[in-house]
Amino acid sequence: MILLWNWILTKTKVASVKKDHDEVQSELSMARKKIKECDSQIGSIVKEQQRIQQKISEANLERKRMENEVKRMRWNQKDCSLKVEKLIEKHAWIASEKQLFGRVGSDYDFESCDPHKAREDFEKLQAEQSGLEKRVNKKNDKSKIKMVIEELDEKKKETLKVTWAKVNKDFGSIFSTLLPGTMAKLEPPEGGSFLDGLEVRVAFGSVWKQSLSELSGGQRSLLALSLILALLLFKPAPLYILDEVDAALDLSHTQNIGRMIKTHFPHSQFIVVSLKEGMFNNANVLFRTKFVDVSLLCREQ
């Protein structure tokens, strides 16, 4: 009986211990599961930490790169400012033209006139020039160009000399016709040649005037008219129009203008407007005009 009771007690204890064991085992499994979940979370956190750390490192590198870029741009800005100052100092036109830089329609419209394309075209032309230079004998061409320039200079001098001689002759003839008893000429300044310029000289009788200021207003008008007509006479035109060129002249000088036109311009036609009768003594055709009071005509009608 006692043995049976002990067996029962032992079995009960074993069942209780087994139950406790199972509960502990269940709690251990749950604890292990939680530990595994924590390990997984810790792993995720570590990866996230590493990712964030990588981003921080990359951000620091980018910050340093941007700091270096800012420094470089500051140096470039300083260098460009110095270059601009030197350009403005060297080329005075920049200060007055810079407000047009980039303006549409101006000579500095950089969108329609791309500087980079212009440089490319310039370099292309330079390359073409270099190619041409290889086929050209610079020494011979330079001597030929120099010879041509010298020939042109000689032709220019000869042409100027012929023109001066012709205009000077007509100038004196026209002036002496307009103002009998006088002479006029164009001559180089003292110690110079006709290439240095020409001065107007006037003589009354045989006495040459020292200055044109000694002439009266009418005489200066005749002198100016003589010079203009002498220049025109070098290559005469078929038709001339003179509008009251005798306004400041007396009657005798007015008559001389008509005589001069008939003598010196036989192959040209002149339309002359004048209020003085003496101008028309040598005219072939006369057209007269008069003022009419229109209001009086209306009243008569």
CB 301 within 8 A of CB 270: no
Q: What is the pLDDT of residue 265?
A: 85
CA 249 – CA 116 distance, rounded (Å): 67
DSSP bridge pairs for 271: 241
Tell me the pLDDT tens digit for each residue of 237-258: 888 898 888 887 777 778 888 8
CB 247 within 8 A of CB 217: no
CA 107 – CA 100 distance, rounded (Å): 8
CATH superfamily, with its number, for domain 155-282: P-loop containing nucleotide triphosphate hydrolases (3.40.50.300)
CB 240 within 8 A of CB 196: no
Q: What is the DSSP string of the chain?
A: -HHHHHHHHHHHHHHHHHHHHHHHHHHHHHHHHHHHHHHHHHHHHHHHHHHHHHHHHHHHHHHHHHHHHHHHHHHHHHHHHHHHHHHHHH-THHHHHGGGTT-TTSTT-TTTS-HHHHHHHHHHHHHHHHHHHHTS-HHHHHHHHHHHHHHHHHHHHHHHHHHHHHHHHHHHHHHHHHSTTEEEEEEPPTT--GGG--EEEEEETTEEPS-GGGS-HHHHHHHHHHHHHHHHHHS--SEEEEESTTTTS-HHHHHHHHHHHHHH-TTSEEEEE-S-GGGGGG-S---------HHHHHHH-
CB 242 within 8 A of CB 271: yes
Per-residue tokens: 4: 């049976």
CA 37 – CA 152 distance, rounded (Å): 105
Tell me the pLDDT tens digit for each residue of 84-114: 888 888 887 777 777 777 777 777 777 777 7
**Least reliable range by pLDDT among 165-169, 193-197, 277-281:** 277-281
What's the rounded mean pLDDT across residues 48-61?
88
CA 98 – CA 104 distance, rounded (Å): 13
Pairwise pLDDT comparison (259 vs 199), residue with the higher score: 199
Predicted confidence (pLDDT) at residue 297 exceeds the cutoff of 60:
no
Q: What is the pLDDT of residue 125?
A: 86
The domain segmentation of the chain, as residue ranges, is 93-136, 155-282
pTM score of the predicted model: 0.48
Per-residue tokens: 30: 């749950």
Q: What is the pLDDT of residue 138?
A: 61
The percent of residues above 90 in pLDDT, for the chain, comes to 6
Predicted confidence (pLDDT) at residue 299 exceeds the cutoff of 80:
no
The percent of residues above 70 in pLDDT, for the chain, comes to 90
What's the rounded mean pLDDT across residues 131-144?
70
